[in-house]
Amino acid sequence: MIPAPLRYVRASSLDEALEALAEPDARALAGGQSLVSILKLRVVRPSVVVDIGRLDLRGVESGDGELRIGALTTWAELASAPELAGPALAAVAECAASIGDLQVRNRGTIGGSLAHVDPASDMPAVMLALGARVVLRSAAAQRELEVGDFFVGPFTTTLGEHELVTEVVLPVPAPGSGSAYRSVEHPASGFALAGAAALVGPDGARAVGVTGIASVPRRLPDGVDPESALEGIDVYGDRFAPAEYRRELARVVVERALASAASRAQGERE
């Protein structure tokens, strides 16, 4: 399989990338682990592919009660980032280490994945549970959005045509918090049939993000029992997992993620 004819532009600066993306039907190429696959299937046929892979948007920085993750930080880098080693943010590294396979984790980026928002991708659930924000840059402006407002539907975000995700901002949870990600994967594709991320605070407050079960990853309403919150979700079914089975899997992974996050919050060894 070979992509349809396209024009390739390698951006050497953010301004250059934003300028190239101003063309109609331009697509940004980060690690390419989603985009190149769908280019080959000719699901998308952009006129120009703007390679942003060499921009200086990598790495994890901490400060002011936040972690700022460059959009081009790969799964492999996140899985081994010392800033994510503690129990409070364990879900991020744990999720990153379970995505795709070794080769995909060497190339795939957090910014690319969040902008692609496959309804069954793993990391959006973690970002929702942790209350992450995305930083979006255009030539004229920069804005910051809660990820819950960024994801709008399957493969659809509020990213403007001439905008790029440049950073992901994670509020550092209060000391004594724990987080976890659990999923049941489709054995061949590796995508989540149901995935859940949980954050448990030192006071027992819980936040849960789910993926793989509905048209878009979402956060369960805070303060509502997760099991009843799941009842309110329009779970989809397909030939791999009918809706009722997926709903059951969702209950299971939510419970597992909450239990693991709670035991991490209490400093228990797993």
Alpha-carbon distance of 240 to 245, in angstroms, equals: 10
Q: How many residues bind other proteins (CB under 8 A)?
A: 29
Q: Binding of other proteins at residue 11 (CB under 8 A)?
A: no
Q: Binding of other proteins at residue 190 (CB under 8 A)?
A: yes
Q: Select 182 or 247, whichever has its Cβ closest to other proteins.
A: 182
Q: Binding of other proteins at residue 101 (CB under 8 A)?
A: yes
In the complex, what is the shortest distance from the CB of residue 76 to other proteins, in angstroms, rounded to a whole number?
A: 8
Q: Binding of other proteins at residue 6 (CB under 8 A)?
A: yes
- Alpha helices per DSSP H over 131-178: 147-150
Q: Binding of other proteins at residue 240 (CB under 8 A)?
A: no
Q: Binding of other proteins at residue 20 (CB under 8 A)?
A: no
Q: Binding of other proteins at residue 102 (CB under 8 A)?
A: yes
Compose the 199-228 pattern: x for residues touching other proteins by CB under 8 A, - for all others.
------------------------------
CB burial of residue 220 (10 Å; 0-12, 13-18, 19+): buried
Q: Select 190 or 202, whichever has its Cβ closest to other proteins.
A: 190
Residue written as tokens 């954050």? 199
Residue written as tokens 């970002």? 127
20 membership: H or E segment, kind and range: helix 14-21
Q: Binding of other proteins at residue 36 (CB under 8 A)?
A: yes
* Cα 193 versus chain centre, distance: 16
Q: Select 40 or 143, whichever has its Cβ closest to other proteins.
A: 40
Q: What residues are paired with 137 via a beta bridge?
A: 142, 164
CB burial of residue 56 (10 Å; 0-12, 13-18, 19+): exposed
Rg, C-alpha atoms of the chain: 18
Alpha-carbon distance of 239 to 55, in angstroms, equals: 40
Scanning 34-42, 81-89, 143-151, 249-257 for contacts with other proteins by CB under 8 A, the matching segment is 34-42
Q: Binding of other proteins at residue 47 (CB under 8 A)?
A: no
Q: Which residues bind other proteins (CB under 8 A)?
A: 1-8, 10, 29, 32-33, 36-37, 39-40, 49, 51, 53, 76, 100-104, 106-107, 188, 190
